[in-house]
């Protein structure tokens, strides 16, 4: 890369941070809509459950500004992200309305690609800058050391603290990452009202307490998030409904690495969900387009989930 192209690449990187301003890297550990289904339910009998989840996200953000002397600058940042999660949960419980407890571990395989474009036209010459990056592999592993659940008739409650460990590959200065290079601690509460063969209403709330990225001295700030689902069963095996999420950064970015200022991320999603059960296996599909976004890319995510006890 010659000096001019290198200079333009630095411009493109600065533009990337300018259009996706909140949260280092433009994302956090929480994935919109991840925990909605049966958010408050722990299995009623002692056993182990395996869940396989695949999420695909594609989003972008654009900005068109007029500079001094009538110069036009157009900026675009595109991000694609996928996460394949392998979850293993063990629950100790007995049939009935008693307390249940257990633990869970989730290993994600992630892939992220990011591209920043700059187009500038000052009526004399055009300048184009382009920066592309990608990363794939093991993401940040999460686990719940202890989770507690309770059933009261058709109502279910579940609580615990999920921990995200910085196990993913991180490269300082890159715009695509495998991991985020900091710990996150998420106390959560899940509530579900489930009448088999008729309906499900579930609500999951959590609060992400995020450590500082010590490599860059960047603190992305804490986040409140909520997932919800409302579904009706067309028969004993198939349910259809709507699902959505809220993601609100409650503390602004801080630290010497947050050179653009104290910004907060916000996003809301809403979309359809369909679930089918065959024997002990369940399959779920959901699409979650973002309907309101601030300081992040805007797009949609698509989920394919599979679960079975063994």
User: 24 vs 57, 158, 205, 261, CA distance in Å?
Assistant: 18, 31, 23, 12
**Is residue 78 in a domain?**
yes
Q: Which domain holds residue 188?
A: 3-23+35-309
pLDDT over threshold 90, residue 29 = yes
What was the pLDDT predicted at 262? Answer: 77
Cα–Cα dist 207/293, whole Å: 19
What was the pLDDT predicted at 125? Answer: 44
Closest among 161, 160, 159, 168 to 141, alpha carbons compared: 168
What was the pLDDT predicted at 124? Answer: 43
Closest among 38, 157, 159, 151 to 97, alpha carbons compared: 151
Mean pLDDT of the chain: 86
**Is residue 28 in a domain?**
no
If one counts the domains in the chain, the total is 1
How many CA atoms within 13 Å lie on the side-chain side of 22? 22
**Is residue 108 in a domain?**
yes
**Is residue 272 in a domain?**
yes
**Is residue 29 in a domain?**
no
* 249's tokens: 């950064």
Question: What is the reported pTM?
Answer: 0.88
Top-confidence residue, 185 or 6: 185
Top-confidence residue, 4 or 111: 111
DSSP class of residue 154 equals T
Residues 6+ apart with CB under 8 A from 202: 36, 37, 38, 39, 40, 41, 190, 191, 192, 193, 194, 227, 228, 229
CB atoms within 10 A of CB 58: 15
**Is residue 132 in a domain?**
yes
Strands (E), the chain: 47-66, 72-92, 100-121, 126-138, 142-152, 155-164, 184-195, 199-210, 223-233, 238-249, 266-278, 281-294, 298-309
Say which CATH number the domain at 226 has.
2.40.160
pLDDT digits (tens, 9 = 90+) for 145-177: 999 999 998 999 999 999 999 999 998 888 889
**Is residue 30 in a domain?**
no
């Amino acid at each position: 890369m010659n000096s001019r192209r290198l200079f333009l690449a630095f411009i493109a990187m600065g533009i990337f941070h300018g259009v996706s301003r909140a949260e280092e890297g433009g994302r956090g550990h929480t994935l919109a809509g991840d925990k909605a289904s049966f958010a408050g339910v722990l299995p009623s009998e002692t056993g182990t459950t395996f869940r396989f989840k695949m999420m695909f996200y594609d989003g972008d953000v654009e900005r068109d500004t007029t500079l001094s002397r009538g110069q036009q600058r157009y900026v675009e940042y595109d991000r694609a992200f996928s996460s394949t999660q392998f979850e293993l949960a063990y629950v100790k419980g007995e049939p009935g309305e008693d307390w249940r407890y257990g633990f869970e571990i989730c290993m994600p395989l992630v892939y992220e690609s990011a591209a920043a474009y700059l187009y500038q036209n000052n009526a004399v010459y055009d300048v184009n800058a382009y920066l592309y990056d990608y990363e794939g592999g093991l993401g940040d592993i999460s686990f719940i050391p202890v989770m507690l659940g309770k059933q009261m008739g058709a109502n279910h409650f579940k609580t615990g603290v999920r921990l995200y460990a910085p196990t993913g590959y991180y490269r300082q200065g890159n715009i695509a990452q495998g991991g985020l290079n900091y710990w996150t601690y998420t106390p959560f509460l899940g509530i579900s009202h489930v009448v088999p063969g008729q309906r499900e209403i579930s609500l999951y709330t959590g609060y992400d307490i995020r450590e500082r990225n010590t490599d860059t001295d960047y603190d992305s700030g804490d986040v409140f998030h909520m997932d919800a689902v409302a579904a009706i069963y067309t028969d004993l095996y198939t349910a259809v409904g709507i699902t959505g999420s809220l993601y609100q950064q409650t503390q602004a970015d801080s630290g010497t690495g947050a050179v653009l200022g104290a910004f907060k991320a916000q996003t809301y999603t809403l979309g359809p969900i369909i679930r089918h059960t065959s024997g002990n296996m369940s399959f779920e599909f959901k699409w979650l387009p973002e309907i309101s976004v601030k300081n992040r890319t805007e797009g949609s995510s698509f989920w394919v989930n599979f679960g079975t006890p063994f």
